[in-house]
């Protein structure tokens, strides 16, 4: 930023006007002195032209008028009205001419800075990405440059956000097409096998129908996950908070996953340091968040053979932790694991397949409840932690218990 003397454009313009006027008067005076000296040197004289001899006070008609210099006091006294008006017009004209000349000269840098900003704005209109205008002044013109830079940054941010949204929509379509097509193809294939009464026995056809049912259930889960994601991202979901027991909710979720634990040969353990904890939350959404974490632990923790689910209450918050002992998540993936469509593994296998939205949905739900979710992964296991603030409902209940006692 170039440092200028003035921080106010108004004060600067007033100063320029005053300086231009002062220089104009000085120049006018210098020109007048110069003309006087020149007329004296050349012998230019005035004999009273422009005024009638009879009108000269103290002189008779035809009386000889001595020669005097054009710019002497005696000569000026003989000027008539027309001469006086003409001289004043010439003086004012040259005074204005000098003023304009000096003002344009003094404000040359000012107009250059304004032209620079104007040209930069015009260039921004046809350029891609955020471009900044050099702030050359500390006055209102400099403030305009600063505000234009801020506007350019915001527009660039919005444009990048729009491009990201378009890319995300493209990725979503690709993921949805893949994740829905695979189980749907399997459902169709197994149903065709189950319908072939001539080639397969009833027992075999029953087996194929069960497999088709599992594939259909998985397909239904994927569709529900996509619906949940779109509702969360569009803000269509409204929290219906009520008093729920988060400890009981987690216990219920673990029991519902008992068949999956058995199917994947996983041992599980549930521990809590309190038997009950009431919070204000949307029970359905909170159950979905916990469900997504347990489902994720089952998918990626098979190699570890066990899953721990813990509920621990602290003074100001309650934490729900889900730990699996599968492969360690790389550090670079930990920073992105809650992003939509992000998958740690490169392949989209049937065993761990999905939309890649489960953890993102869990984070959105937790954030809506004013909580936070984090992940840690090392040789001690991969731990997903949900931390929810203890709100007024829990405090009121504790107060009521104390009064009753």
**Element spanning 45, H or E:** strand 45-46
For the stretch 263-319, pLDDT in tens is 888 888 999 999 889 999 988 889 989 988 998 888 888 788 889 999 999 988 999
pLDDT of 342 reads 67
Residue 49 pLDDT > 50, yes or no? Answer: no
For residue 208, give Cα distances in angstroms to 69, 177, 189, 192, 194: 127, 24, 9, 9, 5
Cα(270)–Cα(256) distance, integer angstroms: 13
Pick 238 or 55 by higher pLDDT.
Answer: 238
Say whether 385 sits in a helix, a strand or coil: strand
pLDDT of 48 reads 47
pLDDT of 293 reads 92
Residue 242 has a CB neighbour count (10 Å cut-off) of 11
Contact predicate 341/172, CB 8 Å: yes
Residue 392 pLDDT > 60, yes or no? Answer: no
The CATH 3.30.565.10 portion of the chain extends over: 238-404
Architecture field, domain 238-404 = 2-Layer Sandwich (3.30)
pLDDT of 347 reads 39
Contact predicate 342/357, CB 8 Å: no
pLDDT of 213 reads 87
Query: What is the percent of the chain where pLDDT is above 90?
Result: 14
Cα(360)–Cα(384) distance, integer angstroms: 13
Mean pLDDT of 139-154: 81
Which letter does DSSP use for residue 329 in this model? Answer: P
Q: Provide the mean pLDDT of the chain.
A: 78
Mean pLDDT of 56-61: 48
Where does the pLDDT of residue 399 fall: very low under 50, low under 70, confident under 90, or very high at 90 and above?
A: very low
Residue 44 pLDDT > 70, yes or no? Answer: no
pLDDT of 144 reads 83
For residue 158, give Cα distances in angstroms to 142, 151, 163, 287: 24, 10, 9, 35
pLDDT of 361 reads 84
pLDDT of 112 reads 83
The CATH 1.10.287.130 portion of the chain extends over: 165-233
For the stretch 170-193, pLDDT in tens is 776 776 676 677 778 888 888 888
Pick 212 or 130 by higher pLDDT.
Answer: 212
Least confident of 58-67, 93-102, 155-164, 247-256: 58-67
Residue 58 pLDDT > 60, yes or no? Answer: no
Where does the pLDDT of residue 42 fall: very low under 50, low under 70, confident under 90, or very high at 90 and above?
A: low
- Predicted TM-score (pTM) of the model is 0.52
Contact predicate 255/247, CB 8 Å: no
Say whether 50 sits in a helix, a strand or coil: coil
Q: Closest by alpha carbon to 364, among 256, 236, 250, 242?
A: 236
CATH topology for the 165-233 domain:
Helix Hairpins (1.10.287)
Least confident of 59-73, 161-175, 384-398: 59-73
Contact predicate 320/386, CB 8 Å: yes
Cα-to-chain-centroid distance, residue 122: 23
Instruction: Record the tokens describing residue 61, joined without a space.
Output: 């008609």
pLDDT of 188 reads 87
Cα(166)–Cα(154) distance, integer angstroms: 18
For residue 183, give Cα distances in angstroms to 9, 179, 206, 369: 70, 7, 18, 34
Q: Closest by alpha carbon to 306, among 343, 349, 270?
A: 270
- Cα angle 309-261-302, degrees, rounded to a multiple of 5: 85
Cα(371)–Cα(317) distance, integer angstroms: 9
For residue 82, give Cα distances in angstroms to 51, 86, 106, 365: 9, 6, 36, 92
pLDDT of 261 reads 87
Phi, psi of 6 (to 5 degrees): -110, 145
Cα(256)–Cα(261) distance, integer angstroms: 10
Least confident of 49-53, 87-91, 316-320, 323-327: 49-53
Say whether 274 sits in a helix, a strand or coil: coil
pLDDT of 350 reads 43
Please name the residues in contact with 146: beta carbons below 8 A apart, sequence gap of 6 or more: 135
């Amino acid at each position: 930023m170039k440092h200028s003397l003035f921080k106010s454009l108004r004060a600067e313009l007033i100063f320029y006007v005053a300086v231009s006027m002062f220089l104009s008067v000085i120049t006018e005076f210098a020109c007048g002195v110069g003309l006087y000296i020149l007329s004296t040197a050349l012998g230019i004289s005035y004999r009273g032209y422009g005024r009638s001899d009879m009108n000269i006070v103290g002189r008779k008609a035809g009386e000889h008028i001595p020669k005097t210099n054009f710019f002497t006091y005696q000569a000026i006294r003989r000027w008539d009205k027309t001469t006086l008006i003409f001289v004043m017009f010439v003086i004012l004209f040259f005074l204005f001419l000098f003023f304009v000349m000096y003002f344009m000269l003094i404000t040359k840098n000012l107009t250059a800075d304004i032209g620079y900003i104007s040209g930069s704005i015009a260039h921004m209109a046809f350029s891609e990405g955020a471009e900044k205008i050099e702030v050359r002044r500390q006055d209102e013109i400099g403030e305009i440059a600063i505000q234009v830079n801020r506007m350019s940054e915001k527009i660039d941010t919005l444009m990048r956000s729009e491009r990201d949204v378009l890319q995300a929509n493209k990725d979503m379509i690709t993921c949805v097409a893949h994740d829905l097509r695979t189980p749907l193809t399997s459902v169709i294939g197994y149903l065709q096998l189950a319908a072939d009464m001539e080639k397969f026995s009833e027992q075999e056809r029953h087996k194929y129908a069960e497999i088709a049912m599992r594939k259909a259930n998985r397909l239904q889960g994927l569709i529900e996950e996509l619906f949940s994601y779109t509702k969360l991202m569009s803000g269509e979901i409204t929290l219906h908070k009520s008093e729920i027991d988060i400890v009981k909710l987690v216990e219920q979720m673990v029991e519902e996953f008992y068949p999956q634990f058995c199917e994947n040969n996983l041992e599980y353990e549930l521990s809590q340091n309190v038997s009950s904890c009431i919070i204000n939350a949307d029970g359905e959404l909170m159950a979905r968040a916990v469900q997504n974490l347990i489902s994720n632990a089952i998918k990626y923790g098979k190699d570890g053979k066990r899953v721990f689910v813990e509920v621990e209450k602290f003074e100001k918050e309650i934490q729900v932790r889900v730990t699996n002992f599968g492969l360690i998540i790389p550090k670079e993936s930990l920073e992105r694991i809650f992003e939509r469509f992000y998958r740690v593994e490169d392949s989209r296998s049937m065993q761990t397949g999905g939309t890649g939205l489960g953890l993102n949905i869990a984070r959105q739900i937790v954030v809506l409840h004013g909580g936070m979710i984090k992940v840690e992964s090392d040789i001690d296991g991969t731990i997903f932690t949900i931390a929810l603030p203890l709100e007024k409902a829990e405090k009121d209940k504790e107060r009521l218990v104390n009064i009753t006692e």
